[in-house]
Chain A
């Protein structure tokens, strides 16, 4: 079974631009979560989608948004990029049926975003 895939793997943008990252979950998984990893702040939860609906949200500004499609693939968008948005963005998928983290979350390799 294929794992979680994220595209692109690397991205360079300039301040003020916007960016869209993509995540394809493991086949059959309906929950997709996004995390931001930076050296200073560590790993922080952005949001979770289940069946095309945002189910949970972290403490990030409105510039960070996401969506999920009917095939469970998810995209994350960051508008008006700032230097501090440079990070590794990880997505994770799970069945999501239980609505809790009793289920294992499987992480993708991440998209490394550099904002210049």
Chain B
């Protein structure tokens, strides 16, 4: 079975500071990797995903994540955060072969202070 661990439940940072949200996964088979963002009182939005190819993937709003197979990690980073980035971030995996479902981590609440 797959599992996802998000190492920090809350991350407070100052505006314009860099941030890293950590995600480690466990799986005996190959998986796809995702980061979703949930703004207050809203559903989930896909931020970025890793399917294959380049291990560094980027989103349109400045976030990036790097797939590290040896460390089974998929950490999310942004060099300079904005107040509007305040949200909860979820790391997730799914099997490449087999049941198509997302297995989520517990989430990291990112709070941006002015």
Count of chain B residues with Cβ under 8 Å from any Cβ of A?
Answer: 25
B78 contacts partner chain A, Cβ-Cβ < 8 Å: no
The residues of B that contact A104 with a CB separation of less than 8 Å are 46, 49
Question: In the complex, how many residue pairs between chain A and chain B have their CB atoms under 8 Å apart?
Answer: 55
Please report the total number of A residues contacting B with Cβ < 8 Å: 25
Q: Secondary structure of the A side of the interface?
A: strand
**Is B45 at the interface (CB under 8 A from chain A)?**
yes
Q: Which residue of A56, A100, A104 has the most chain B CB atoms within 10 A of its CB atom? A: A100
- B residues with CB within 8 A of A: 32, 34, 36, 41-46, 49, 51, 90, 92, 94, 96-97, 99-107
A-B contact pairs, 5 of them (CB 8 A): A42-B104, A45-B103, A101-B34, A101-B94, A110-B43
A residues contacting B by CB (< 8 A) are: 4, 31, 33, 35, 42-45, 48, 55-56, 58, 90, 92, 99-102, 104-110
